[in-house]
Amino acid sequence: MMDKSKFFDHFRRTLAAPTLEQGEVDGANAILDCMWGLPNSWISYGLATAWHETAHTLQPIKESGGDAYFFRRYDRDGQHPAIAKQLGNTQKGDGVKFCGRGFVQLSGRANYLRAGTALKIDLISNPELALDPAIAAKIMRDGMVEGWFTGRKLAHILPVSSPATRNEFFSARRIINGSDRADLIAGYAMEFQHALCATEK
């Protein structure tokens, strides 16, 4: 069993000082409960990714921008039909309906369908379910483990039985989004890894 009090003590001292909001605690718990049993380096990177992508709230978020932006950017009848096609947005209104949501930005009809099928939930009829912390955590976990986002998987980069190095965490950004803010997120991941290791002492 994990001693979560030690985890949160380290989290509070290093990343969330001086206090943790209840939403941050709840979000961390959703991710920990969902990813528990995976290698510590993998859990650490999941936490670091969510910490960054949600602007340190650890609450699933909806992509910024209004309906007009989502239509222009992602709809088949918008200004970028090639992007719409890549996302599987085949029906009018898909750009708005399947905008980015979650701990990581699940976007597009095809990706909502894949995630919903994997988790056995109807994300096509109910895309807002991707904002539920427990569901968002599962989407992030499965996406990172299975390589949904970029084709890269956690197992391609991060170790299974030993702590990851900062360089390995830097490279792990390719699982989500190329190299965008990779060094910053690697630093978060190192602290989360220290927090998880503290629970084993």
pLDDT (tens digit per residue) in 31-68? 999 999 999 999 999 999 999 999 999 999 999 999 99
Residue pointed to by tokens 């792990």: 172
Q: What is the mean pLDDT of the chain?
A: 95
Give the span between the Cα atoms of 72 and 49, in whole angstroms: 27
Query: Euclidean distance between the first and final Cα of the chain, in Å?
Result: 12
Q: What is the mean pLDDT of residues 88-110?
A: 97
The predicted pLDDT at position 54 comes to 96
Q: Is the pLDDT of residue 192 over 90?
A: yes
Q: What is the mean pLDDT of residues 110-135?
A: 98
Report the SS3 class of residue 26.
helix
pTM recorded for the entire structure: 0.94
The predicted pLDDT at position 177 comes to 86
Question: Where residue 18 falls among pLDDT bands split at 50, 70, 90?
Answer: confident
Report the SS3 class of residue 101.
strand
Q: Output 26 or 18, whichever has higher pLDDT.
A: 26
Above pLDDT 90, what percent of the chain? 91
Q: What is the mean pLDDT of residues 7-34?
A: 92
Give the span between the Cα atoms of 93 and 78, in whole angstroms: 10
Give the span between the Cα atoms of 150 and 44, in whole angstroms: 19
Give the span between the Cα atoms of 102 and 195, in whole angstroms: 24
Instruction: Count CA atoms closer than 13 A to 53's CA, side-chain side.
Output: 26
Q: Output 198 or 108, whichever has higher pLDDT.
A: 108
Give the span between the Cα atoms of 15 and 56, in whole angstroms: 9
> What are the CA-CA distances from residue 100 to residues 70, 94, 112, 175, 201 (Å)?
9, 12, 10, 17, 39
Q: Is the pLDDT of residue 3 over 90?
A: no
Identify the H or E element spanning 45: helix 40-53
Q: Which residues contact 21 (CB under 8 A, 6 or more apart)?
A: 57
Q: Is the pLDDT of residue 130 over 80?
A: yes
The predicted pLDDT at position 201 comes to 60
DSSP string, 47-92: HHHHHHHTTT--S-EEPSS-HHHHHHHHSTTSS-HHHHHHHT--ST
Q: What is the mean pLDDT of residues 8-30?
A: 91
The predicted pLDDT at position 1 comes to 63
